[in-house]
Structure 1
Amino acid sequence: MKDLLDIRKDIDKIDEQIVKLYEERMKLTSDVAEYKINTGKQVFDKEREESKLATLQKKAESDFTRHGIRELFEQIMAMSRKKQYKLLTEHGIMPPQEFEPIHTLDYSNARIVFQGLEGAYSQLAMEQFFGENCNNFHVESWKDAMEAIKNGEADYAVLPIENSSAGIVSENYDLLVEYDNYIVGEQIIRIDHALLGLEDADERDIRTVYSHKQSLMQCSEFLDSHADWEKFSVSNNAVAAKKVKEDGEISQAAIASAKNAQIYGLKVLRNSIQNNKNNSTRFIVVTGKKVYTDQADRISICFEINHESGALYHALSHFIYNGLNMTNIQSRPLQNKNWEYRFFVDFEGRFEDHAVQNALRGLRDETIAFRILGTY
């Protein structure tokens, strides 16, 4: 039996050869890139790569090494493509620019739409982003807000996208795909839920609670301590507060911001009932124009991938190779395709950066239904 030290020496020799051969192969990648630059040929040739992988796998001596060879050469080819994307960018060959750079958002004469009634958290986010005196109106649903932009009734819409306790607002992720509206800003606000009732009500009187489904989830611990209360979700927290006031039933309460007590003539029965005392919601600002400001340093995209092993890994490798930091990744199921998903990714970077352009080029070429949702 060989000594372990001798085995390791043999492995080291082989590894040195692999490194040398890898370097030689990557030099040839530059020649490939130059050819494609001169001919306009696409970097990613899936049919060629699949044929090459099948040929290499046939040279394996066992099923185990056959699988390993495929995985190894998939990575080598992926690295080759990434180098080619980099060389294309360095030669000034850039994809068509979809978005127009502007110095700043001009919303002095803009109309802004939010979902809900006066007192809704969306209104608070809107006022923090655009100012309290902005020209605004409200609609019943988030879809209505997107429609308002589509129909030219509004220039911007403010939509919740993620809560630090309850997670994503899945419907709004789907709406970003359904509509040709784009993210141009974000606003994070603290969410402090209160239990609101009629002026002569006491917490002991409550039997029914109304709020948005997200708020009910964010206050689940408090609600679980009142197991006998019935909980009903409504379209918006402010709608819940208005309902309690209009119904005039002492047994009813709403979960909403304390501001709604002043607006709708209610009483705060209990403050800060959310599970997470640092509860926050991230809102996005969307518009119908493909624009971004020179302060924009975050990009949101979505894409679909082939339903096969390693597909997501290969897509995400574009961020790793280009040194880009992903700040968020989410998935939403595809309609009529069981157990297949659309992925949403936020990452840091500026549109003009070569690393960003390299990653976007690779993702666009190697994924399905790729789309930039905005940079802000």
Structure 2
Amino acid sequence: MQSLEEMRKELDVIDDQITTLYERRMKVCEGVAEYKIKNGRKVFDKTRENEKLAAVAEKVSTDFNKKGIRELFEQLMSMSRKLQYQRLSEEGVLGRLPFIGLEQLDLDGARVVFQGVEGANNQAAMLKYFGKNVKNFHVPSFRDAMEAIEEGSADYAVLPIENSSAGPVTQVYDLLVEFENYIVGETVLPIKHMLAGVKGTTLSSIERVYSHPQGLMQTSHFLDEHGTWQQISVANTSMAAKKMMEDQDTTQAAVCNEYAAELYGLDILAREINDESDNSTRFIIVTNQKVFLKNASKISICFEIPHESGSLYHLLSHFIYNDLNMTKIESRPVEGKSWEYRFFVDFEGNLADAAVKNAIRGLREEALNLKILGNY
């Protein structure tokens, strides 16, 4: 029987052979890339790859080795594709992305829409990004805001996309897929929730608390301490405050910000009731134009992938091979397809960068579909 040291030496010899064959294989792949460039052929040929995987699996003896050799060749073919995409990029074959780079956004006379009523956090985010003199109006729902910019009654919309403690605003993610609107900016707003009610309201008199679902989630620890309070969702925290003013009912209260409480003449019953002391919400600025700032540094995309083992891994490897830093990934169910998901990814980069074009080319060819949501 061989000693451990002898077996390790034998493995080193085999690994040297594999390394030499790997470089030889990639050299041939360069030739494949040159051929495809000259003849306008697509890099990704799924039928060819499936045939290859089935063929190599037949050449090994055990089920364990069949799975292993398939995984090995999946990686080899994935690296081959990335080399080919790189050569396409070097030859300038990747083409232009359908977005126009701007030095700055056209804000002169722009009309901005936000969801909610006066006093909403959405309004505060709008004022922070656009300034106090911006022309603006508000609508009842996120969908209404998206429709307003799609039809042209507004130039920009301000929408919450995620909260640091409650997570993503899933409805906004879904609307970004549904509408041909694009992210061109973002702003982060610290969120400080208060409990407010009409004059005469006390903690002991409260029976019902109203707020946006995110507002209720972000203050759940405080609200759950008062287990008898019924928690009721409304479209916006400021709408909850406005309801208090309209109803003049001391058995109900609103979770809202201090500005909304003051605007609607409410007493603040408890201050800063957030579960997290550093609670903040990220808002996106959306328009119906395919534009991006030339100094933009973050890109958002979404894509669907085949419902197969390893699909997500292979797609995400395009960020690694192009030295792109992925900063966020979310998943949402695909409507009408049980247990299949659409992935939303944020990563650092600019649409004018060669590495970004290279990665997007690979993602677009290998995903079932891909949408660039914006560069900002």
State the TM-score bracket (shorter-chain normalisation): over 0.9
Q: Which moved more, 1:205-214 or 1:172-181?
A: 205-214
Q: Does 1:81 align with 2:81?
A: yes
What is the letter of the counterpart of residue 236 of structure 1?
N
Q: Give how far 1:199 is off.
A: 2.3
Could you say what secondary structure the match of 2:8 adopts?
A: helix
SS in structure 2 at match of 1:324: coil
When the two chains are superposed, the root-mean-square deviation of aligned CA atoms in Å is: 0.8
8 Å CA contact 2:97–2:351 kept in 1: the answer is: no
Contact residue 298 and residue 350 of structure 2 kept, 8 A: yes
Equivalent runs, 1:198-277 vs 2, <5 Å? 198-277=198-277
What is the TM-score of this pair, normalised by structure 2?
0.99
> Match of 2:204, SS?
helix
Which residue number in structure 2 is paired with residue 71 of structure 1?
71
| Aligned equivalent of 1:296 | 296
Mapped partners of 2:353, 2:7: distance in 1:
46
1:246 aligned partner, one-letter code: E
Whether the 8 Å CA contact 1:95–1:361 is kept in 2: the answer is: no
Structure 2 CA distance for aligned equivalents of residues 94 and 29 of structure 1: 18
Show the 5 A alignment for 1:1-376. 1-376=1-376
Tell me how far apart the structure 2 counterparts of residues 348 and 364 of structure 1 sit (CA, whole Å). Answer: 18
Identity, % of aligned positions? 56
Q: Which amino acid aligns with 2:100?
A: E
AA of the residue aligned to 2:94: M
Aligned partner letter, 2:342 = R
State the SS of the aligned residue for 2:123: helix
Kept after mapping to 1: 8 A contact 2:193/2:272: yes
Alignment-mate amino acid for residue 358 of structure 2: N
Structure 1 alignment gaps of length 5 or more: none
Aligned with 1:186: secondary structure? strand
- For normalisation by structure 1, the TM-score amounts to 0.99
SS at match of 1:232: strand
Q: 1: distance between equivalents of 2:261 and 2:235?
A: 18
Q: Which amino acid aligns with 1:324?
A: L
| Cα displacement (A) at 1:37 | 0.7
Once the 2 structures are TM-superposed, how far is the Cα of residue 214 of structure 1 from its aligned partner?
A: 0.7
* Residue 88 (structure 1) shift: 0.5
Q: Distance in 2 between matches of 1:200 and 1:266?
A: 10
Distance between the aligned counterparts of 2:97 and 2:310, measured in 1? 30
Take 1:52 and 1:368, find their aligned partners in 2: how far apart are those partners? 21
Distance 2:4 2:94 in 1: 51
Q: Show CA shifts across 1:142-188 (max 9, x none).
A: 00000001111000000001011111100000000110000000111
Letter in 1 for 2:212: H
Distance between the aligned counterparts of 1:204 and 1:113, measured in 2? 38
**Cα distance in 1 for residues equivalent to 2:121 and 2:327:** 24
| SS of equivalent to 1:205 | coil
User: Could you list the per-position Cα deviations for residues 282-307 of structure 1 after superposition, in whole angstroms to 9, with x for gaps in the alignment?
Assistant: 11110000000112111000000111
* Residues in 2 aligned to 1:311 and 1:97: alpha-carbon distance in whole angstroms: 24
1:178 is aligned with what amino acid? E
Structure 2, gaps ≥5 residues long? none
1:171-226 deviation per Cα after TM superposition (whole angstroms, max 9, x unaligned): 00000011000000011110000001112322222221100011100000000100
